[in-house]
């Protein structure tokens, strides 16, 4: 009888193994979309930073910026995009103003540009629109004026509406001023409707970066204190968008480092953020209507760069110029990855930054193994010159700062010493498209164990009953 029962158990195990194999073939393998290696392509015609670039129908269009000689320019250029990189750059219709840190967005064959610095610390509320096509940028038309003068806002278009978040509203002298205001307006065939206020952003912010998809807007990082170059945040937020404006803001997973002037775009249910303030690191995360998921490190950008506009066309990401006035252009393919190293962060991070205005820039970063993250940021900064003290009203940030700032709002003259310590916990896992998932192996192993336990238990009960 004992030999018979052993045979039954062996048969049961064989059946369970067969079921595991069949189940493994039916379970979709978890994937994530990472960035491939970066490749140099056709350089921009001039050194540039703080320009704004958009893409439409396989072309990229870039407006304004600082070329390192002239503080602002009215230059515009366009070029074709392909899997081979960026084609030859061609000069197009000059912008009506010399402009820097304007924010442009495109829809249905038109580009719309909002605000910016027009030289000498003067901001503008002007909004202009123009056609974009394979022939370049058409004639510019003055559109509905923005409610306030500002620069370094983040504007995006979705379903016939333009949404603008944050920005610098005063840069003539220290102390500079941010805003947490958001505005939206309808756009159609180059016409901008009346601007309306919408849900205030949780922080007064500038140089954050936002992207829209599927009825939601997702925003990352930014400078919460414009008078101190290192007073940045790693906060992320998302909200619904509609013809009624921006809905309630929700906190997403904290970015792995404090950041501003990064460039973020989205594709296939993921947000990709490239480089930024004093870094060449890039990250991506799944996004949905209910979250900005865990951030994963991806291909390092070829150089430390910030304020570089990036655009997506097809399955390729293209980034142009950036601080400190470079002309290099790089592109990378968005590639499928079956497994990835995921940077996981729990709910409280402590980041301490201290910066002083000096002639050199140093950054020290230390990583170890466990993280905490809600962005408790304490910062101390000091410099020689005139001083001002600012305290951020941002909910997730507690700061104490005393600064002298001749720091320019655009940060083109940013010279700081920044020491930052972050701890992160890294685990290898896979993500399912559109959300964060456990690894396929873990998922299948759990199911396999459950099946084995059930079959063995059933066999044992049958054996007991036969006895």
- DSSP-assigned beta bridge partners for residue 416: 357
CATH of domain 32-344: 2.120.10.80
Domain boundaries, the chain: 2-29+438-466, 32-344
User: What is the DSSP pairing of strand 376-382 with strand 350-356?
Assistant: parallel
> What pLDDT is stored for residue 45 in this prediction?
96
At 120 the pLDDT is: 75
Which of helix, strand or coil describes residue 456? helix
Residue-by-residue DSSP string for 59-105: EEEEE--B-SSSSSB--EEEEEEETTEE---EE-PPPSS-BBS-EEE
Contact 194, 183 (CB under 8 A): no
Predicted local confidence at residue 150, as pLDDT:
96
- pLDDT tens track for 19-50: 655 555 444 444 568 999 999 999 999 999 99
Question: Residue 351's pLDDT is what?
Answer: 34
Contact 292, 253 (CB under 8 A): yes
Buried b (16+ CB within 10 A) or exposed e, 355-370: bbbeeeeeeeeeeeee
- Report pLDDT digits (tens) over 385-415: 333 333 333 334 433 333 333 333 333 333 3
CB atoms within 10 A of CB 386: 12
- Tens-of-pLDDT digits for all 467 residues of the chain? 555 556 666 566 666 666 655 555 444 444 568 999 999 999 999 999 999 999 999 999 999 998 877 778 999 999 999 999 999 999 999 999 999 999 999 999 999 999 999 977 799 999 999 999 999 999 999 999 999 999 999 999 999 999 999 999 988 778 899 999 999 999 999 999 999 999 999 999 999 999 999 999 999 999 999 998 889 999 999 999 999 999 999 999 999 999 999 999 999 999 999 999 999 999 999 999 999 999 999 999 999 999 999 999 999 999 999 987 699 999 999 997 543 333 333 333 333 333 333 333 333 333 333 333 333 333 333 333 333 333 333 334 433 333 333 333 333 333 333 333 333 333 333 333 333 333 334 445 566 677 777 777 776 666 666 55
Maximum Cα–Cα distance across the chain = 96
Pairing of strands 362-366, 417-421: parallel
Q: What is the pLDDT of residues 290-299, one digit of tens each?
A: 999 999 999 9
Burial group, residue 446, by CB count within 10 angstroms (0-12, 13-18, 19+) = exposed
Check residue 420 and give its pLDDT: 35
Contacts of 14 (CB under 8 A, 6+ apart): none
Model pLDDT, residue 189: 97
């Amino acid at each position: 009888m004992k030999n018979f029962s052993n045979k039954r158990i062996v048969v049961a195990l064989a059946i369970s193994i067969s079921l595991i194999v069949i189940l493994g073939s039916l379970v979709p393998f978890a994937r994530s979309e990472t960035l491939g290696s970066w490749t140099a392509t056709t350089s921009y015609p001039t050194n540039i930073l703080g320009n704004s670039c958009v893409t439409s129908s396989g072309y990229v269009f870039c407006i304004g910026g600082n070329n390192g000689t002239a503080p602002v320019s009215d230059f515009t250029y366009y070029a074709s995009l392909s899997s081979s990189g960026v084609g030859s750059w061609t000069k197009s219709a000059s912008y009506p103003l010399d402009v820097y840190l304007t924010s442009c967005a495109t829809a249905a064959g038109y580009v719309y540009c909002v605000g910016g610095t027009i030289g000498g610390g003067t901001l503008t509320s002007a909004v202009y629109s123009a056609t974009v096509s394979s022939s370049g940028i058409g004639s510019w038309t003055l559109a509905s004026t923005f409610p306030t003068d500002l620069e370094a806002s983040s504007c995006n278009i979705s379903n016939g509406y333009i949404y603008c978040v944050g920005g610098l509203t005063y840069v003539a002298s220290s102390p500079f001023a941010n805003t947490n205001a958001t505005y939206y307006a309808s756009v159609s065939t180059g016409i901008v409707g009346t601007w309306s206020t919408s849900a205030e952003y949780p922080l007064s912010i500038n140089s954050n970066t936002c992207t829209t998809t599927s009825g939601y807007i997702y925003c990352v990082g930014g400078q919460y204190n414009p008078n101190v170059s290192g007073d940045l945040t790693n906060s992320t937020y998302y909200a619904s968008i509609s013809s009624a404006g921006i809905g309630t803001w929700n906190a997403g997973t904290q970015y792995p480092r404090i950041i501003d002037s990064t460039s973020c775009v989205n594709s296939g249910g993921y947000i990709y953020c490239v480089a930024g303030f004093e870094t060449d690191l890039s990250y991506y995360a799944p996004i949905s209507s209910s979250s900005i998921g865990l951030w994963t490190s991806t291909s390092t950008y070829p150089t430390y760069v910030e304020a570089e506009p990036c655009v997506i066309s097809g399955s390729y990401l293209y980034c142009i110029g950036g601080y400190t006035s470079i002309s290099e252009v790089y592109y990378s393919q968005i590639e499928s990855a079956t497994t990835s190293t995921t940077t996981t962060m729990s709910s409280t991070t402590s980041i301490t930054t201290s910066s002083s205005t000096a002639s050199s820039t140093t950054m020290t970063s230390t990583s170890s193994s466990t993280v905490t993250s809600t962005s408790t940021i304490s910062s101390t900064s000091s410099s020689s010159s005139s001083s001002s003290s600012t305290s951020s009203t941002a909910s997730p940030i507690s700061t104490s700062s005393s600064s002298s700032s001749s720091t320019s709002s655009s940060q083109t003259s940013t010279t700081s010493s920044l020491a930052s310590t972050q701890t992160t916990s890294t685990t290898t896992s896979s993500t399912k498209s559109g959300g964060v998932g456990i690894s396929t192996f873990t998922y299948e192993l759990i199911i396999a164990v459950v099946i084995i336990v059930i079959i063995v238990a059933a066999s044992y009960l049958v054996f007991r009953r036969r006895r």
